[in-house]
Amino acid sequence: EDQVTQSPEALRLQEGESSSLNCSYTVSGLRGLFWYRQDPGKGPEFLFTLYSAGEEKEKERLKATLTKKESFLHITAPKPEDSATYLCAVQANTGNQFYFGTGTSLTVIP
Amino acid sequence: GAVVSQHPSWVICKSGTSVKIECRSLDFQATTMFWYRQFPKQSLMLMATSNEGSKATYEQGVEKDKFLINHASLTLSTLTVTSAHPEDSSFYICSAALALETQYFGPGTRLLVL
């Protein structure tokens, strides 16, 4: 069964304190792994797509990496405006459907 | 690029009425659109997948007669909540995708049924 697990559920960081969010997945053939950011009361905002193990993508203070079993979203020197819920989703190569994790709620304290 | 809009952004209605939510891809043609529901502090729950010009595919447990989906063009999909009841109150989010590519999400519609 295709499954996505994110950890931790919640993370509080001091401003400037780097950390990583984890997304573990099991899928019968990975087409893509996606990271989104969601602010309260808004739709998810697309961040990255990763397609194969070893792939890395960066955007400002965020860097996403992918292995055959998990993905990490590294946050370097976070700022309060990085506070949000970060969602991970995987798409199997057997269909269109995305399988979402439950998200990591990140709070960055000034 | 890849902007998806939803209308309305919020709606309050009386129990028993029907509510229509529109989802538009503004700068690309979406072959597939998805409708999700999200409860407070929970992740997205896929309700249905729709391809332009064909019937929507509903997830298990989602009543197709209650949640009517129409995907008449490559840029517009609508979700109609028929005979809404308080338990239908939720945050409804659509997404649009080109072929098998990344899903881009709308800003969501908050529905409150009194």
pLDDT, position B72: 81
- The rounded mean pLDDT for chain A is 94
pLDDT, position B1: 66
For A72-89, what is each residue's pLDDT tens digit? 999 999 999 999 999 999
* Option in A42, A49, A87 nearest B43 (CB): A87
pLDDT, position A27: 87
Over residues B22-48, the mean pLDDT reads 91
DSSP conformation letters of B1-44 = ---EEEE-SEEEE-TT--EEEEEEESSS--SEEEEEEE-TT---
* Option in B100, B103, B107 nearest A31 (CB): B100
Q: Which residue has the higher pLDDT, A22 or A98?
A: A22
Number of neighbouring beta carbons within 10 Å of residue A32: 19
Return the exposure string of A38-68: e unless at least 16 CB atoms fall within 10 Å of the residue's CB, then b. beeebbbebbbbbeeeeeeeeeeebbbbbee
Q: Cβ–Cβ of A46/B2 closer than 8 Å? A: yes
Determine the residue type at A96.
N
Tokens read off for B10: 């919020």
pLDDT, position B99: 67
| Interface residue of A42, A57, A93 to substitute, partner B, most B CBs within 10 Å | A42
Over residues B16-27, the mean pLDDT reads 95
* Option in B43, B103, B104 nearest A102 (CB): B43
Over residues B32-44, the mean pLDDT reads 90
Kindly indicate the confidence band of residue B92, based on its pLDDT and cuts at 50, 70 and 90.
very high
Q: Cβ–Cβ of B6/A43 closer than 8 Å? A: yes
Strand, helix or coil at A51?
Answer: coil
- The chain A residue lying nearest B51, using CA atoms, is A96
Strand, helix or coil at B86?
Answer: helix
The bridge status of strand B10-13 relative to strand B109-113 is: parallel
Percent of chain A whose pLDDT exceeds 70 = 98
Answer whether B96's CB lies under 8 Å from B85's CB. no
